[in-house]
Amino acid sequence: MSVSYRQPGVVLTDRRFTVPLDHADPTGETIELYAREAVASDKADKNLPWLLYLQGGPGGKANRFVGRPAWFGRALEEYRVLLLDQRGTGASTPANRQTLPLRGGPAEQADYLAHFRADSIVRDCEAIRPQVTGGAPWTVLGQSFGGFCTVTYLSLAPEGLDTALITGGLPSLDAHADDVYRAAYPRVERKVAAHYARYPQDVERARRIADHLLTHDVVLPNGYRLTVEAFQSLGIMLGSGEGSHQLHFLLEDAFVRTPGGHELSDAFQEQAQGLLSYAGRPLYALVHEAIYGQDARPTAWSAERVRAEFPRFDAAKSLAGDEPLLFTGETIHPWMFDCDPALRPLRETADLLASRTDWTPLYDPARLAANEVPAAAAVYHDDMYVDTAHALTTARAIRGLRTWVTDEFEHDGVRTGGPRVLDRLLALARDEV
């Protein structure tokens, strides 16, 4: 039974759907999907086209908006919007340390999680679309990993799409995870250099914290073991519009003087654990590298292996000399499953996913080359999370796709740019500019 309720300027309706766990076995096990339907209050009785929003991640639930902020308000001017909690996230059937043991042991858990990639998400969308739109195609807006899913949608089921809009999410069609991370580490280093140029005082602050972590065993209040590598991973913040400023504010009061000497402050530890914990999005850690698996080659903890090719990210070597400490970016490492209590029980499951050799292709280059769906993509210049060169190569491979390349925003431009990003993409897709 659907439940409707109101927020300022918006009518919301909770929707639930049942879909196969494995779409190749439609009579087998099922899971539940949750989505929130939204329509502007003054258009609630109108027959409007639909826009499906696919959140970034993987493993990210749909936005929980209050009112009509950012792109959402622009979309509500002409669409009914469906905010989908992709399988395993949010209020959909969860996949985490508490629920995965219901599957059995690590092998059964890994087999289950192999169904949580973009191809399954797209087939979920196609399974629920007739119930939502009555069978009409819909416009899809994909942010980051949601953009990856949108390219998969164009590959697997373009007949379900009226328009495809992508923000910061054009994936390489054929790169292995190793290729992705070899391109990523130099990009991250540029972002770190830009941060230190903006906040030069953070060079010494970061070195001091790293030195403390190399010589002390620090366990955060939630049980997270704060190693120097974990501290470096806070660099993931540098890919968002406000991330550099937020990192600066985190570092500026990291230490407090105590009777036993200087220690990391409770305030710093509280903030750090909120930023580092994957308790709210364990799928991000579990299947992150699997989103780049498309053949028999295992991902094999790619980000960790490739990091060794970039010795400047070695904290101990930086501190032994006078080099600034380098933060890292959007990478998942095996040590995270030792440090994070939300991931610790899933370490063996993660190892099995990393060694998997039966990944199937997520994109169809021939079908993309023959694309007829109006499509537009925002490509953020020097995006920390998605390689710009990879994105533009893919853009050229999708027939009719129009791109807007901009350095006005970081990866989260669709959020920070108000209605402008969605406005621009709609205009491009409609050939209005």
Per-residue confidence of the chain (433 residues) as pLDDT tens digits?
A: 678 999 999 999 999 999 999 999 999 999 999 999 999 999 999 999 999 999 999 999 999 999 898 899 999 999 999 999 999 999 999 999 999 999 999 999 999 999 999 999 999 999 999 999 999 999 999 999 999 999 999 999 999 999 999 999 999 999 999 999 999 999 999 999 999 999 999 999 999 999 999 999 999 999 999 999 999 999 999 999 999 999 999 999 999 999 999 999 999 999 999 999 999 999 999 999 999 999 999 999 999 999 999 999 999 999 999 999 999 999 999 999 999 999 999 999 999 999 999 999 999 999 999 999 999 999 999 999 999 999 999 999 999 999 999 999 999 999 999 899 999 999 999 999 8
CATH code matching the domain that covers 3-173+363-429, chosen among 3.40.50.1820, 3.40.50.1000, 3.40.190.290, 3.40.640.10? 3.40.50.1820
Instruction: Print burial letters for 179-189: b (CB count within 10 Å at least 16), e (below 16).
Output: bbbbbbbebbb
pLDDT value, residue 79 = 98
Contact 90, 61 (CB under 8 A): yes
**Beta carbons of 292 and 302 less than 8 angstroms apart:** yes
Catalytic site residue 115?
Answer: no
Q: Looking at 144, 155, 244, 318, which residue is catalytic?
A: 144
Catalytic residue among 115, 172, 411, 412: 411
Residue 424 near residue 166 (C-beta atoms within 8 A): no
Name residue, tokens 């779409």.
23
Cβ density class 348-387: b for 16+ within 10 Å, e for less: ebbebbbebeebeebbbeeebeebebbbbbbbbeebbbbb
The active-site residue, picked from 25, 45, 217, 358, is: 358
The DSSP-derived string for 243-264 is HHHHHHHHHHT-EEEETTEEEE
Report yes or no: 173 and 292 within 8 Å, Cβ to Cβ: no
What is the residue extent of each domain of the chain? 3-173+363-429, 177-354
Q: Is 144 marked active-site?
A: yes
